[in-house]
Homo-oligomer: A and B are copies of this chain.
C-alpha cells in the first residue's frame, strides 16, 4: 500500500490529474499522445507518468518504440475509491468552468 500522502501528492498536480482523466477511458496511451494532448514537454510528461506509476496509479508496457500507459486495473479498493472520487470532483470543476 502506498502512503496516502504520496498518493495525494501524485494527484495534486494539474498535468498528472489531467493525464489520469485521459486514462480513465481504460485504454492505453503513449507518452507522445499525452504530451501533445496536454501540452507538456516530452521529458516533463515522462517524469509525471513515472510519478503516477511509482504510487501505483498506472502501469506501463513497452510496445515497440512506444510506452503505453493505462490505469492500473488491480488497484486496492480504498485507493480506487479515492481515484474515483477525485476524478468525479475534477469533472464537476470542469463542468463549472465550461458553464461559466
Contacts and interface: CB of A to CB of B under 8 A. Distances in A.
Contacts of A91: 78
Nearest to A80: B85
A67 interface: no
Name the interface size band of chain A.
20 to 34
Total identical chains? 2
Contacts of A3: 93
A12 B14 contact: no
B4 A90 contact: yes
Question: Which DSSP category, helix, strand, loop or mixed, fits chain A's interface?
Answer: helix
Contact of A4 (B4, B17, B84): B17
A8 to B, nearest CB: 4
A92 interface: yes
B85 A4 contact: no
A66 B13 CA distance: 35
A91 B13 CA distance: 24
